[in-house]
Amino acid sequence: MAPLELVGATWRPDRTAILDGFSLRLDPGAITAVLGRSGCGKSSLLRVIAGLRELEAGEVRGRPARLGFVFQEPSLLPWRSAAENVALTLPAGSAPGAALAALESVGLAGRGEALPRSLSGGQRMRVSLARALLSRPELLLLDEPFAALDAATLAEMQHLLLAAHAALGCTVVLVTHDRALAARLADRILVVEGPPLRVTLDLAARVPRPRSPEAVGELVQAMEEAP
């Protein structure tokens, strides 16, 4: 996969400049965390990268054909089973068991027939992740997907994300408010402000994963000291 680049990206909905000449380069295969307060433009950045927002100026280069997106809410169709929700992204002619295999990969073996209302919040997020991973994406975009999870489920989801990243070698962009989460997972951490969106800290996390509490603490401190 080629590097993903935003070059001079400008997007102004309702006369408010969310992106104004914004440029960014993401290296292939890296996990990049984007941190900033609500409303600064983080989610808009993901949607621009995904092609869900039409830019007024600038361009996105290197966007791959296979792209997965996990939103803050699982966005499951309540009348469809877990397997049917996952299968929504399957191309015609796919193997019948592909959706069930994807659910098994995120720890939901045997829950393919379950409706969303019978699943916990963490399980619904697993279904959403399975759906995003089913196409073996080259680029995985995550918009605060772990914000509402309890500590135990959060730890499980982090493990699943890192396992998927290792298996696929995909580029990951994770929007989060959680500094410790970013410090545990990311290869690169961008602290941002806005609107319009701008980077105030570009921090390389060079410590191999899994990271010790001391290493995580040092990264969190560097984020907290950002201007």
Domain boundaries, the chain: 78-134
Decide if pLDDT at 93 tops 70: no
Long-range contact pairs involving 143-146 (C-beta distance under 8 Å, separation at least 24) = 143/42, 143/43, 143/46, 143/69, 143/70, 143/71, 143/72, 143/175, 144/43, 144/72, 144/175, 144/176, 144/177, 145/70, 145/71, 145/72, 146/176, 146/178, 146/181
Pick from 35-39, 94-98, 123-127: least confident: 94-98
**Percent of the chain residues topping a pLDDT of 90:** 80
Residue type, 185: L
Model pLDDT, residue 11: 94
Model pLDDT, residue 149: 86
* Cα separation, 186 vs 206, whole angstroms: 9
pTM passes above 0.75: yes
Our measurement of the distance from residue 43's CA atom to the centroid of its chain's CA atoms, rounded to an integer in Å, reads 10
The pLDDT tens digits for 48-67 are 999 999 999 999 999 999 99
State the pLDDT confidence band at 96, using cuts at 50, 70 and 90.
low
Long-range contact pairs involving 44-53 (C-beta distance under 8 Å, separation at least 24) = 44/11, 44/18, 44/19, 44/197, 45/19, 45/175, 45/197, 46/141, 46/143, 46/173, 46/175, 48/6, 48/9, 48/11, 48/19, 49/4, 49/6, 49/139, 49/141, 49/173, 50/141, 53/11
* Cα separation, 38 vs 194, whole angstroms: 9
